[in-house]
Amino acid sequence: MAPQKTVGILGGGQLGRMLTHPAALLGIPLLILDSGSYTPAKQTLLPPENHDGHLDGPFTSEPHIRELAKKCDILTVEIEHVNADVLEAVEKEGLCEVQPSPSTIRLIQDKYQQKKYLSEKGVPVSPFGELPPNPTESDFKAVTDKLGLPVMLKAKTLAYDGRGNSPLKSTSSEDIQRSLDFLGDRPLYAEGWCSFVKEVAVMVVRNKEGQVKSYDAVETIHRESILRVCLAPLRGEKSLNARARQLAESAVGHLTGAGIFGVEMFLMADGSLLLNEIAPRPHNSGHHTIEACHTSQFENHLRAILSLPLGSTDLIVPSAAMINILGASSSMEPIEIMRDNALTVSGATVHLYGKKESRKARKMGHITLTAQSDADLTENLRTILFAQPDADA
Ligand code: ATP
Ligand code: MG
Ligand code: MG
Which ligand minimizes its atom distance to the CA of 283?
Answer: 1
Report the mean per-residue pLDDT for the chain.
95
Ligand 1 centroid vs 37 CA: distance in angstroms? 32
- pLDDT at res. 391: 47
With a Cβ cut-off of 6 Å, ligand 1 is lined by: 126, 152, 154, 159-162, 164-165, 191, 193-194, 199, 222, 225, 264, 276-277
**pLDDT tens digits, one per residue of 148-191:** 999 999 999 998 888 899 999 999 999 999 999 999 989 999 99
Q: Return the minimum-mean-pLDDT range out of 57-71, 325-339, 346-360, 378-392.
A: 378-392
270 Cα–ligand 2 center, Å? 25
Nearest protein CA to atom 21 of ligand 1, as residue:
225
Cα–chain center distance at 241: 20
Peptide bond before residue 100 is cis, with ω within 30 degrees of 0: yes
Which of 14, 15, 152 has most ligand 1 atoms within 8 Å of its beta carbon, as the pocket-test mutant?
Answer: 152
Per residue in 256-286, pLDDT (tens digit) is 999 999 999 999 999 999 999 999 999 999 9
Task: Kindly report the pTM of this predicted structure.
Answer: 0.96
Treating both helix axes as pointing N-terminal to C-terminal, what angle do 84-92 and 102-109 enclose, rounded to 10 degrees? 170
Q: What is the mean pLDDT of residues 80-104?
A: 97
Q: Is the pLDDT of residue 47 over 70?
A: no
Ligand 1 atom having least distance to the Cα of 160: 6
Q: Best of 165, 196, 198, 322 to mutate for ligand 1, by most ligand atoms within 8 A of CB?
A: 165
pLDDT for res 1: 61
Q: How many residues does the chain have?
A: 393
Radius of gyration, CA atoms only, the chain: 21
Considering only CA atoms, which residue is closest to atom 22 of ligand 1?
225
Over residues 332-347, the mean pLDDT reads 96
CA-based torsion, 289, 2, 94, 58: positive or negative: positive
How far is residue 23's CA from residue 4's CA, in Å, rounded to a whole number?
A: 11
CA of 169 to the centre of ligand 2 (A): 22
Give the distance (Å) from ligand 3 centre to CA of residue 231.
16
Cα 316 to middle of ligand 2, angstroms: 28
Residue 50 has pLDDT above 70, yes or no: no
Closest atom of ligand 1 relative to the 192 alpha carbon: 27
The CA distance from 324 to 391, in Å, is 11
* Protein residue whose Cα sits closest to atom 9 of ligand 1: 162
pLDDT for 65 equals 98
Element (H, E) at 384: helix 374-386
Ligand whose nearest atom lies closest to the CA of 274: 1
Residue 191, SS3 per DSSP: strand
Cα-to-centroid distance, 1 and ligand 1 (Å): 44
Out of 24-28, 88-92, 143-147, 275-279, pick the least confident: 24-28
Mutate to test the pocket of ligand 1, among 276, 362, 366 (most ligand atoms within 8 A of CB): 276
At 387 the pLDDT is 81
Binned at pLDDT 50, 70 and 90, residue 6 comes out as very high
Q: Provide the pLDDT for residue 162.
A: 86
Respond yes or no on whether ipTM tops 0.85. yes
Which pLDDT value is given to residue 224?
87
Instruction: Note the pLDDT of residue 95.
Output: 97
Q: What is the pLDDT of residue 390?
A: 63
Strands 319-326, 226-232: pairing is antiparallel
In the predicted model, is pLDDT for residue 234 greater than 80?
Answer: yes
Question: Alpha-carbon distance 33 to 35, whole Å?
Answer: 7
* pLDDT for res 46: 58
Q: What is the pLDDT of residues 298-327, one digit of tens each?
A: 999 999 999 999 999 999 999 999 999 999
Q: What is the pLDDT of residue 393?
A: 42
What type of residue sits at position 392? D
Lowest mean pLDDT among 131-135, 158-162, 345-349: 158-162
Nearest CA to ligand 1 atom 19: 225
Report pLDDT digits (tens) over 356-375. Answer: 999 999 999 999 999 999 99
| Whether the Cβ atoms of residue 110 and residue 90 lie closer than 8 Å to each other | no
Report the sign of the C-alpha dihedral through residues 94, 95, 101, 104, in that order: negative
> DSSP string of 47-67?
-GGG---SEES-TT-HHHHHH
Q: What mean pLDDT do residues 242-265 have?
A: 98
pLDDT tens digits, residue range 203-228? 999 999 999 999 999 999 999 889 99
Average pLDDT rounded to a whole number, residues 102-116 = 98
User: Where residue 44 falls among pLDDT bands split at 50, 70, 90?
Assistant: confident
Rounded CA-CA distance 88/13 in Å is 23
Q: Which residue has the least CA distance to atom 15 on ligand 1?
A: 225
* First-last CA distance in the chain: 55
> What is the distance between the alpha carbons of residues 322 and 313, in angstroms, rounded to a whole number?
17
Whether the predicted pLDDT of 388 surpasses 90: no
Q: How far apart are CA 279 and CA 297, in angstroms?
A: 13
Question: Which ligand places an atom closest to the C-alpha of 165?
Answer: 1
Closest ligand 1 atom to Cα of 163: 6
> pLDDT-derived band of residue 52, with 50, 70 and 90 as boundaries?
low
Nearest-atom index, ligand 1, CA of 194: 28
Q: Ligand 1 centroid to 265 CA: how many Å?
A: 9
Q: Rounded to the nearest whole angstrom, what is the distance from the C-alpha of residue 231 to the centroid of ligand 2? A: 19
